[in-house]
């Protein structure tokens, strides 16, 4: 169990103890109540925003100790132009990547998903709608979105998807429960290229990724913009990134080589 989850459980027990304390002893002063509620809200929000804390779910963030190589992951596709550029760059080096695709884009470009698989790469799920407020939705909305995305992807690939990266990396107890119900493995990252941000250059991507590119790293890049048509900087950076990883003697390895069922 992650330290953050221990803190979350302890904080939840503490908050639930407040009314009991108030009945058995005396009501807490308003100032103390405010501090407890604010503190609890802060703890739970940290868990929502930072997947790496693994407060609500056991996300894979990096390879196990002793893992060799670096896994490259690409979010927000498929895209008819940019995904193919990524595939060409990976294939030129014989490298394998994992693509976390958005269900509604899979419906628009099923042929790109088929091509990803035909060229030997892996496909994971990145929700159906890529709703930025996913972590504020109720269980039925979250379940419907993921079930729809799973079905859309299965229709195209013929296989039930297992890997899931939450939209913008946010999780909460509802998402964690639905993910478990649907038997999905949550995949995080240890190195974020932030290549989807406006104004990011290929040089920015290289300077963000290379210092943290170590054995066992999971790198988050994009093969499509979340919205619109702007090419993510990671797409143009990829050929040089692969050269630099090679120069550092870091193999690009399939994500599956890092996976131990969690
Ligand atoms: Zn995304």
In 21-176, the DSSP E strands lie at 71-75, 97-101, 122-125, 163-164
Q: What is the reported pLDDT for 261?
A: 43
Which residue segment(s) compose the domain that 27 sits in? Answer: 3-49
CB 186 within 8 A of CB 165: yes
159 shares a domain with 208: yes
Residue 122 belongs to a domain: yes
The residue that leads in pLDDT, 155 or 47, is: 155
The question of whether 130 is a catalytic residue gets the answer no
Q: What is the reported pLDDT for 262?
A: 41
Residue 104 belongs to a domain: yes
Which tens digit of pLDDT belongs to each residue from 98-154? 999 999 999 999 999 999 999 999 999 999 999 988 888 899 999 999 999 999 999
**Residue 54 exposed, middle or buried by CB count within 10 Å (0-12, 13-18, 19+):** buried
Residue 65 belongs to a domain: no
Residue 88 belongs to a domain: yes
75 shares a domain with 45: no
> How far away, in angstroms, is 16 Cα from ligand 1 center?
35
Q: What is the reported pLDDT for 52?
A: 81
Residue 180 CA to residue 153 CA, distance in Å, equals 18
> How far away, in angstroms, is 229 Cα from ligand 1 center?
14
Closest CA to 201 of 232, 163, 246: 232
Alpha carbon of residue 182 to chain centroid? 16
> How far away, in angstroms, is 130 Cα from ligand 1 center?
7
Query: Both ends of the chain: CA-CA distance in Å?
Result: 11
Residue 82 CA to residue 80 CA, distance in Å, equals 6
Residue 173 belongs to a domain: yes
Which tens digit of pLDDT belongs to each residue from 166-193? 999 888 999 999 999 999 999 999 999 9
- The CATH number of whichever domain residue 111 belongs to comes to 3.20.20.370
43 shares a domain with 151: no
Per-residue CA distances from 53 to 4, 49, 67, 113, 260 (Å): 6, 9, 21, 31, 18
pLDDT of 195 higher than 80: yes
200 shares a domain with 77: yes
> How far away, in angstroms, is 27 Cα from ligand 1 center?
45
pTM, two decimal places: 0.89
118 shares a domain with 15: no
Which tens digit of pLDDT belongs to each residue from 49-104? 888 888 888 889 999 988 999 999 999 999 999 999 999 999 999 999 999 999 99
239 shares a domain with 133: yes
Q: What is the reported pLDDT for 187?
A: 96
Closest CA to 232 of 187, 199, 254: 199
> How far away, in angstroms, is 20 Cα from ligand 1 center?
42
Residue 96 CA to residue 70 CA, distance in Å, equals 10
Find the catalytic residue in 109, 126, 130, 222: 222
Residue 60 belongs to a domain: no
Residue 55 belongs to a domain: no
The question of whether 183 is a catalytic residue gets the answer no
211 shares a domain with 94: yes
Which tens digit of pLDDT belongs to each residue from 14-56? 888 888 888 888 888 888 888 888 988 888 888 888 888 888 8
210 shares a domain with 141: yes
Q: Report the chain's C-alpha Rg in angstroms.
A: 20
128 shares a domain with 232: yes
Q: How many domains does the chain have?
A: 2
Residue 19 belongs to a domain: yes
90 shares a domain with 203: yes
140 shares a domain with 229: yes
Residue 260 CA to residue 262 CA, distance in Å, equals 6
25 shares a domain with 102: no
Find the catalytic residue in 75, 185, 195, 223: 75
CB 50 within 8 A of CB 7: no
């Amino acid at each position: 169990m992650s330290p953050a989850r221990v803190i979350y459980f302890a904080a939840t027990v503490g908050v639930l103890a407040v009314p009991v304390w108030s009945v058995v002893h005396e009501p807490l002063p308003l100032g103390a109540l405010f501090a407890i509620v604010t503190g609890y809200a802060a703890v739970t929000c940290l868990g929502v925003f930072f997947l790496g804390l693994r407060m609500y779910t056991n996300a894979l963030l990096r390879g196990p100790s002793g893992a060799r190589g670096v896994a490259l992951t690409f979010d927000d596709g498929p895209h008819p132009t940019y995904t193919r550029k990524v595939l060409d760059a990976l294939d030129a080096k014989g490298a394998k990547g994992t693509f976390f695709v958005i269900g509604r884009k899979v419906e628009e470009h099923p042929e790109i998903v088929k091509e990803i698989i035909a060229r030997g790469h892996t496909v994971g799920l990145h929700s159906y709608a890529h709703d930025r407020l996913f972590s504020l939705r109720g269980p039925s909305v979250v379940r419907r979105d993921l079930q729809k995305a799973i079905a859309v992807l299965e229709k195209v690939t013929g296989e039930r998807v297992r890997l899931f990266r939450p939209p913008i990396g946010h999780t909460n107890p509802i998402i964690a429960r639905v993910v478990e119900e649907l038997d999905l493995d949550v995949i995080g990252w240890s190195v974020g290229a932030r290549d989807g941000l406006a104004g990011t250059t290929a040089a920015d991507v290289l300077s963000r990724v290379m210092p943290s590119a170590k054995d066992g790293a999971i790198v988050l890049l994009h093969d499509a913009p979340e919205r619109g048509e702007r090419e993510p900087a990671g797409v143009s950076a990829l050929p040089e990134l692969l050269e630099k990883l090679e120069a550092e003697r870091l193999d690009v390895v399939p994500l599956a080589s890092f996976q131990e069922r969690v």
